[in-house]
């Protein structure tokens, strides 16, 4: 129970950061000079998006509780050595991003999925941070499989799943999603990681750059877009 409660706290805390970040991006000029696109936000955009964002947040907590309820006992609460901790986070990220790349690309290439499901997320040509969660609930549900498959790989490789690396992954994954939907220039550029510009361009052009965290799959399958702005 403690494990599930802490997981929910991590989910809520990272989304609270997303809420504050959204407020600053939409309603203040603090970050204006770092914006990637010139397009202005509609004045009431946040309240138009709020019902689905709230529903998905609720769904996220339900999926987290529901999915973890069956496996909570398997999680080891003591902290693993730091290198093992970092490697586990990386494995979950990589597996999740691989799942996301193929699922996302399929949603673009399948006319039905694009028209009925994924087009909702693409109502945002110029996204704001909490729009990472502005998606059709089915897409949200399918996307959540990635982290569970990632945990399966950790179990396979380490023989155990540890709570602390999982919480680290959940926090970083949410913050990363919030950041890549901010429409703000990235200041930390690591060659294999996809910066905000990568996903922002996906929203601006509604194609290409299908991965979220790493650039590897877009490079291998030649779906990476040429940037209009410096990356
Ligand atoms: Zn997006
Ligand atoms: Zn898309």
The CA 51 to ligand 2 mean position distance, Å, reads 21
- How far out from the chain centre does Cα 51 lie? 19
Q: Kindly give, in sequence order, each residue whose CB lies less than 8 Å from that of residue 122, ignoring residues fewer than 6 positions away.
A: 203, 206
pLDDT value of residue 228: 60
Beta strands in 85-165 (DSSP E): 161-162
Every domain of the chain and the residues it spans: 2-220
Euclidean distance between CA atoms 97 and 160, whole angstroms: 21
Q: Ligand 2 center to residue 192 CA distance, Å?
A: 20
Which helix (H) or strand (E) element contains residue 66? helix 45-69
CA of 70 to the centre of ligand 2 (A): 31
pLDDT confidence of residue 183: 93
Distance 210 CA to ligand 2 centre (A): 7
pLDDT at position 71, please? 77
143-160, pLDDT tens digit by residue? 989 999 999 999 999 988
Indicate the burial class of 191 (C-beta count within 10 angstroms; 0-12, 13-18, 19 or more). Answer: exposed
pLDDT of residue 208: 93
pTM, 2 dp: 0.92
pLDDT per position as a tens digit, 101-131: 999 999 999 999 999 999 999 999 999 999 9
What pLDDT does residue 230 have? 53
161 C-alpha to ligand 2 centroid (Å):
31
Q: So what's the pLDDT on residue 2?
A: 85
Report CA(121)–ligand 1 centroid distance (Å): 6
What is the whole-number distance in angstroms between the Cα of residue 66 and the centre of ligand 1? Answer: 25
Question: In the chain, which residues have pLDDT < 70?
Answer: 228-231
The number of the ligand nearest the C-alpha atom of 124 reads: 1
For residue 171, how far is its CA from the centre of ligand 2 (angstroms)? 22
**Cα distance between residue 190 and residue 169, in whole Å:** 18
**Span from the CA of 43 to the centroid of ligand 1 (angstroms):** 20
At residue 86, the pLDDT reads 96
């Amino acid at each position: 129970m403690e494990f599930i409660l802490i997981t929910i706290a991590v989910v809520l805390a990272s989304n609270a950061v997303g809420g504050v970040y959204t407020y600053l991006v939409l309603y203040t000029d603090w970050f204006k000079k770092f914006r990637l696109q010139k397009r202005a936000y509609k004045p009431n955009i946040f309240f138009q998006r709020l019902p689905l964002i709230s529903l998905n947040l609720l769904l996220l907590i339900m999926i987290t509780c529901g999915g973890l309820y069956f496996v909570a006992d398997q999680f080891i609460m003591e902290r693993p050595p730091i290198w093992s901790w970092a490697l586990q986070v990386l494995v979950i990220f990589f597996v999740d991003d691989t799942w996301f790349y193929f699922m996302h690309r399929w949603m673009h290439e399948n006319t039905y999925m694009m028209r009925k499901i994924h087009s909702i997320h693409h109502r945002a040509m110029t996204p704001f941070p909490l729009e990472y969660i502005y998606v059709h609930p089915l897409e949200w549900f399918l996307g959540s499989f990635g982290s569970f498959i990632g945990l399966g790989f950790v179990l396979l490789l380490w023989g155990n799943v540890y709570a602390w690396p999982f919480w680290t992954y959940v926090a970083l994954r949410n913050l990363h999603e919030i950041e890549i939907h901010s429409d703000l220039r990235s200041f930390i550029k690591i060659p294999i990681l996809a910066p905000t510009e990568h996903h922002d361009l996906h929203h601006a052009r509604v194609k290409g750059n299908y991965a979220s965290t790493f650039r590897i799959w877009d490079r291998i399958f030649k779906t990476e877009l040429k940037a209009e702005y410096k990356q």
